Structure 1
Amino acid sequence: MIFWQHLLHKLQDGQKVYVLTVIENIGSSPGRKGFKMLVAQDEFIFGSIGGGVMEFSLVAEAQRLLLEKNPATFIKKQIHKGHIKNGSGMICSGEQTVAFHCLDFSHISVIQNILACLQNGEKGTLCLRSDSFSFSNKCLDKQFDYQIESESDWFFEEYLGFRETLYIVGGGHVGVAVSELLVKLGFYIVVFDNRKDLNTLENNNFAHQKIVIDYTQIQDYVHKGNGSYVAIMTNTYIDDKLILSKLIKNKYAFIGVLGSTAKLKTMWEVLCKEGVAQEELDNVFAPIGLSIKSETPEEIAVSIAAQIIQVKNMGRR
């Protein structure tokens, strides 16, 4: 979202801005599909298309083109095999194709629509072609779709919006730290607590939604499905157990509980006596987070984020 905010500010300032987008990558390319950079007339640069001498060279080319009266839209293949035709100067053996689009004030509404989509938790598709840079309400069934027939005949579509939602139940210090980290990783963040006027909840500026609820109704607020991730971290054992008992029979991509091994062992014993199946308990990540001896809220957030990303990208391990 920060990328689009920077882009909008530059366009509203009356500048022309080159947006560089990786539309194809093969092998060990440092830039992956969807990587983006903006290069503005005032020499402001933000984002990355893979780094290194390749990125430096393409940024310099964009800066030179911005000095021209009518900067062109084009694609450029970079082959990372040293000094060969279309070579990037890198030796990592991959390839990537980068699209150059020069945007100006006429594209302000497009960027505003993208930002509104992201801010409202909605979804849409960025559509790039040799003659256009647009955004639509079309929803892809995958992250990217593209085809390159020639330098003038190609398209690239990218699904924008939050595919995954992280529901954090408990608005304390750890919840704030997890919100800050996971929002940067592209998750839509919803934080719940049952305490009114909780300062850590009120001051959580990273979450998209902050809701004070009755925990007995938690199942009405958490959407089921593979796009939902749940992190339970309330301030009491009783509330943790209540929430888990309300959610454990539902299907989520991830559900975990913060707490000591001793506390969770007791919780599991009680839940088993109450009729919760061991198979259901085995699907819960508890204690939540990878074991890295984390102590501070920020360290705990790193361990939780790493585990969630592991599940998202690799499945349950």
Structure 2
Amino acid sequence: MIIWQHIATKLQENKAVYILTVIENLGSSPGRKGFKMMVAQDGFIFGSIGGGVMEFSLVEEAKQLLLDKKTSIFIKKQVHRGNIENGSGMICSGEQTVAFHYLDKNDLSQIKDIIHCINNGKKGTLSFTQNSFSFSNKLVENQFNYQIYTLENWFFEEQIGFKETLYIVGGGHVGVAVSELLAKLGFYIVVIDNRENLNTLENNNFAHKKLVINYHEINNYIDEGSSSYIAIMTNKYTDDKLVLSKLLRKKHHFIGVLGSKAKLKTMWEVLIAEGFTLEELSKVNAPIGLPIKSETTQEIAVSIAAQIIKYKNSKN
């Protein structure tokens, strides 16, 4: 998201930009499909396509293109096997192909459309070819769709927008800390509470959406699916149990509950008495978070964020 905001700022200042995008990667390449980097006419740089000498070389090339006022669209293959043809200078054994796209003030409306899409929690498709750079509201089936026939004949499509949504049920201090970390990691953050005028919820500037609801209706506010993550951390045991009971038989990629082992043991006993099975409860991450002996609010948030990232990356 931030890279698009930086690009928009430079284009509004009438400064041209090259955006470098990894459109293919093989093996141990440091850059992965979708990695992006911008190089602006005034020397401003943001993002990464893998780092190292390879990235430095391509950035210098983009700088020279801007200096020469060249408005090129092309791709370059980088082979990370030392001093060979198309070699990047790196020795990590992978390969990656990077697309160069020149953008100027005429592309500003497309960049604004991307930002509007992301800000509103929606998705669209960014399309590159050797002749074009475009964004539309159509959706591709997979996150990436591409084909490289030759260096002069290729296309790349990428689904733009938040790919995962984290629902934090409980707008207290831990919820704020988790919101901050996972928002920075690219999640769309929805914080839900049942308390009106809750200071920590009102002042949570990291959440994209904040809701005050009746927890009995929680399942009406949380989407099912493989991109749905849930962290339950309300201010009392009865609400934790209520929310979990409403969501336990729904389909989500991740669900976890904050609390002590003693509290959760009691909760499990009550839920089993209410008809839930051990198999159903085994899908719940409780206590939520990786066991790193976290003590402070921030440490708890780190343990939760790490566990959620582990689950997210297990899909890939």
Question: Is 1:67 the equivalent of 2:67?
Answer: yes
Letter of the 1:152 partner, please give it. Answer: E
The AA in structure 1 aligned to 2:161 is G
Q: Which residue pairs with 2:296 in the alignment?
A: 296
Partner of 1:286: 286
Q: Tell me the equivalent position of 1:159.
A: 159
Cα distance in structure 2, aligned partners of 1:96 and 1:52: 13
Alignment of 1:112-127 (within 5 A): 112-127=112-127
1:281 positional shift: 1.0
Equivalent residue runs for 1:102-141 within 5 Å: 102-141=102-141
Amino acid at match of 1:2: I
Unaligned runs of 5+ in 2: none
Counterpart of 1:222? 222
Once residues 159 and 69 of structure 1 are traced to their aligned partners in structure 2, the CA distance between those partners, rounded to angstroms, is 30
Aligned to 2:2: 2
Aligned-residue offset at 1:79: 0.8
Q: Matches of residues 302-317 of structure 1 in structure 2 within 5 Å?
A: 302-314=302-314
Correspondence list, 1:227-242, <5 A: 227-242=227-242
Q: Match of 1:289, as an amino acid?
A: G
Q: Alignment partner of 1:106: what SS?
A: helix
| C-alpha distance in 2 between matches for 1:244 and 1:189 | 19
User: Which residue in the other structure is 1:270 paired with?
Assistant: 270
| Separation (CA, whole Å) in 1 of partners of 2:225 and 2:145 | 24
Amino acid of the structure 2 residue aligned with 1:50: G
Normalised to the residue count of structure 1, the TM-score between the two structures is 0.97
When the two structures are superposed, what TM-score results if normalisation uses the length of structure 2? Answer: 0.97
Identity %: 70
Tell me the equivalent position of 1:95. 95
1:26 is matched by which residue type in structure 2?
A: L
- Counterpart code for 1:5: Q
In the alignment, what sits opposite 2:195? 195
Q: Which sections of structure 1, spanning at least 5 residues, go unmatched? A: none
Match of 2:50 in 1: 50
SS in structure 2 at match of 1:157: strand
Q: Give the Å deviation of 1:185.
A: 2.1
Per-residue CA deviation, residues 137-189 of structure 1 (Å, 9 max, x unaligned), is 12111111111111110001111112221110001111111111112222211
Structure 2: distance between partners of 1:276 and 1:94: 48
- Structure 1 stretches of at least 4 aligned residues deviating more than 2 Å after TM superposition: none
Q: For the residues of structure 2 that align with 1:312 and 1:184, how far apart are their CA atoms?
A: 15
Instruction: Give the 5 Å matches for 1:78-93.
Output: 78-93=78-93
Q: What displacement does 1:225 show?
A: 2.0
Q: Distance in 2 between matches of 1:224 and 1:146?
A: 28
Quote the residue 1:142 is aligned against: 142
TM-superposed deviation, 1:312: 2.2
**1:265-291 deviations in whole A, cap 9, x for unaligned?**
011111111222222111111001111
Count how many residue pairs are aligned between Structure 1 and Structure 2.
315
1:184-208 per-residue CA deviation (whole Å, 9 max, x = no partner) reads 2222110001111211111111111
Question: For the residues of structure 2 that align with 1:34 and 1:182, how far apart are their CA atoms?
Answer: 19
- What's the counterpart of residue 14 of structure 2? 14
Q: Which amino acid aligns with 1:71?
A: T
- In the alignment, the residues of structure 1 paired with residue 289 and residue 69 of structure 2 have an alpha-carbon distance, to the nearest angstrom, of 53
State how far apart, in whole Å, the 2-side matches of 1:293 and 1:255 are: 21
